């Protein structure tokens, strides 16, 4: 079977920003176990300076750069480039991880599976400040509406997706979780007192200011508390706002900006933290929670989107209201001051993560779905042919 995975994909496997790139990389690595699978990954994004083709065994990654001189926005020209790439590869099946990528798969004329990572209608409410954001999310909404009417399957990575897209009757839904690689399940617990980890982007939707305000409250009660922020800034304006707040409140010795970490450095952060925190205003199924659970770390997060499906209240961590730094501080303090509670929450989190998120299990579910969709497509189009 020749599969084209159209997704955001890391250029350096040792330095992965997280999000869809992390999910795609984890899935590709797990899919290597299937010897009959010829896998082509297409990554078309402004972070690519020039086209490149990277072959590694059964996996070929096509990095596509946007035009240097633009007449049309990258989002539109990128769809055209992806369609042309797909027609050159001639896959049996397309697996897309974003709305415009699913649109490209359908337009190229191949059976397409669309995994929904972000709930666009909700994200659009957060990113509405600039004309560019409103235009971009409006166009993505059009791409997604078309794709959901025409893809062979839509994959929901959380029950929240099914809830939010329940009105889309034309889509045929499948529930598959995000994959977490084996290394997380083997991480040792070297938790240090008072050490809080945030792993994710610095951007408005993550509402880091609420987490930092909670840490400021904690410092008055727990002098050893520290917040480790591991991730890149995807919003320069918001990063400046966050750093300015830290300076104004003299928290430089408490809040540490680590930047984008390599995988081994990130694993070390998970091993040494006492708790993982997330204060987002909108989420679907954030990888940092799945990774924290696999690493046997308790989680305190906001009760938004698909997060309650991941964090079991009082069983693997705690949930707090959006924007409530007092509640966040109280729950963090409860875990930081009770090592036995932290150990119990973390142990249960790892048990549930093994059942739900292991990369081997997720890859097996996707591989079965690929075969099912391809068989249905060929029965409906006996003259379609194919490679596998």
The CATH number of 2-178+358-380, from 3.30.70.2660, 3.40.50.2000, 1.10.490.10, 3.40.50.300, is 3.40.50.2000
Q: How far apart are CA 15 and CA 34, in angstroms?
A: 25
Q: What average pLDDT does range 151-160 have in this prediction? A: 96
The predicted structure's pLDDT at residue 353 = 98
Helix (H, G, I), strand (E, B) or coil at 289: helix
The predicted structure's pLDDT at residue 129 = 76
Q: Give the start-to-end residue ranges of the domains of the chain.
A: 2-178+358-380, 182-356
Helix (H, G, I), strand (E, B) or coil at 173: strand
Helix (H, G, I), strand (E, B) or coil at 230: strand
Model pTM greater than 0.85?
yes
φ and ψ at residue 150, rounded to 5 degrees: -125, -15
B/e letters for 103-118, b = 16+ CB within 10 Å, e = fewer, are bbbbbbebbbbbbbbb
Q: Does the fold of domain 182-356 match that of domain 2-178+358-380?
A: yes
pLDDT band at 125; cut points 50, 70, 90: confident
Q: What average pLDDT does range 113-137 have in this prediction? A: 82
Q: Which CATH architecture has domain 182-356?
A: 3-Layer(aba) Sandwich (3.40)
φ and ψ at residue 69, rounded to 5 degrees: -105, 115
The predicted structure's pLDDT at residue 135 = 78
Quote the distance between the C-alpha of residue 237 and its chain's center: 22
Q: Which residues pair with 275 in a beta bridge?
A: 196
Q: How far apart are CA 13 and CA 36, in angstroms?
A: 24
Q: How far apart are CA 243 and CA 322, in angstroms?
A: 21
**pLDDT of 387 higher than 60:** no
Q: Contact 292/185 with Cβ under 8 angstroms? A: no
Structure tokens at 121: 């209608």
């Amino acid at each position: 079977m020749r599969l084209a995975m159209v997704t955001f994909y890391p250029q350096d496997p040792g330095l992965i920003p997280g999000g869809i790139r992390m999910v795609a990389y984890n899935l590709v690595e797990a899919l290597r176990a299937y010897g009959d699978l010829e896998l082509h990954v297409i990554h078309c994004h402004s972070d690519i300076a020039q086209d490149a083709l990277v072959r590694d065994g059964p996996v070929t990654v096509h990095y596509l750069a946007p035009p240097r001189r633009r007449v049309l926005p990258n989002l539109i020209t990128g769809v055209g480039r992806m369609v042309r790439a797909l027609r050159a590869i001639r896959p049996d099946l397309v697996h897309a991880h974003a709305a415009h990528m699913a649109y490209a798969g359908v337009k190229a004329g191949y059976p397409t599976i669309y995994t929904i990572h972000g709930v666009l209608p909700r994200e659009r409410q957060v990113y509405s400040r600039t004309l560019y954001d409103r235009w971009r999310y409006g166009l993505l909404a059009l791409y997604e509406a078309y794709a959901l009417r025409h893809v062979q399957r839509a994959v929901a990575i959380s029950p929240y997706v099914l809830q939010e897209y329940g009105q889309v009757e034309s889509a045929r839904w499948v529930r598959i979780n995000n994959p977490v690689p084996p290394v997380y399940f083997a991480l040792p617990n070297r938790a240090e007192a008072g050490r809080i980890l945030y792993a994710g982007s610095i951007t408005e939707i993550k509402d880091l200011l609420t987490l930092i305000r909670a840490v400021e409250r904690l410092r008055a009660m727990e002098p050893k508390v520290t917040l480790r922020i591991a991730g890149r800034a995807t919003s320069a304006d918001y990063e400046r706002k966050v750093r300015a707040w830290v300076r104004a409140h003299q928290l430089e010795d408490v809040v540490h900006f680590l930047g984008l970490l390599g995988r081994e450095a990130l694993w070390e952060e998970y091993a040494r933290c006492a708790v993982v925190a997330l204060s987002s205003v909108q989420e679907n199924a954030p990888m940092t929670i799945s990774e924290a659970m696999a690493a046997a770390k308790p989680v305190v997060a906001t009760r938004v989107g698909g997060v309650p499906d991941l964090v079991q209240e009082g069983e693997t961590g705690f949930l707090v209201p959006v924007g409530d730094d007092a509640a966040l501080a109280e729950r963090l303090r409860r875990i930081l001051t009770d090592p036995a509670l932290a150990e119990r929450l973390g142990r249960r989190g790892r048990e549930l993560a093994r059942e739900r998120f292991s990369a081997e299990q997720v890859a097996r579910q996707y591989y079965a779905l690929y075969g099912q969709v391809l068989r249905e497509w060929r029965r409906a189009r006996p003259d379609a042919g194919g490679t596998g």
